Amino acid sequence: MSSLEENMEEMLNISVDVDSPSKPASPKSNDDDRTKDYEYTRGELYSLIDQGQEAVRGALEVAQESGHPRAYEVAVAAMKHVADMTEKLQDLHKKMKDLDAEQKKGPSSVTNNAMFVGSTAELQKMLKQMGGGKR
């Protein structure tokens, strides 16, 4: 501790304990974030689907009471939006399944190398035999 710091402590009548720097928190793993994001997105989609179904019911009720073609058009559009949300929910499941499979599979380490050992004349002879002797 420097003399300036000691003087400041005396003048202010305080004492300062100097601790060793703490370790930075370890970053969360991508798996935790991915799972958290998946659960959040899934919950939001469920909520949107439920709200959409309520909107469809209301729009159909208005359409039936009024008999107006535009009201039916709005109801059908709301149905399409709900169907799109359910499709997005299915896509979310497929993407998570693909990510899990990719993670379990890991990187491929297979390397296939073919090597010919011989003279150029032998290589030409082999290629002619493989090609049926055609040129």
CATH code (residue 48): 1.10.287.1060
Q: Residue 117: inside a domain, yes or no?
A: no
The total number of structural domains in the chain stands at 1
Q: Residue 15: inside a domain, yes or no?
A: no
The total number of residues written for the chain in this structure: 135
Q: Residue 25: inside a domain, yes or no?
A: no
Task: Report how far apart, in Å, the C-alpha atoms of 30 and of each of 27, 35, 88, 101, 106 are.
Answer: 9, 8, 22, 15, 15
Q: Residue 96: inside a domain, yes or no?
A: yes
pTM comes to 0.53
Give Cβ neighbours of residue 79 (< 8 Å, ≥ 6 apart).
Answer: 56
Can you list the positions of beta strands (E) in 1-135? Answer: none
Q: Residue 40: inside a domain, yes or no?
A: yes
Range of the domain at 96: 32-104
Query: Tens-digit pLDDT profile for the chain (135 aa)?
Result: 567 667 667 766 676 666 555 555 555 567 788 889 999 999 999 999 999 999 999 999 999 999 999 999 999 999 999 999 999 999 999 999 988 887 777 666 667 777 778 888 888 888 888 886 555
Q: Residue 110: inside a domain, yes or no?
A: no
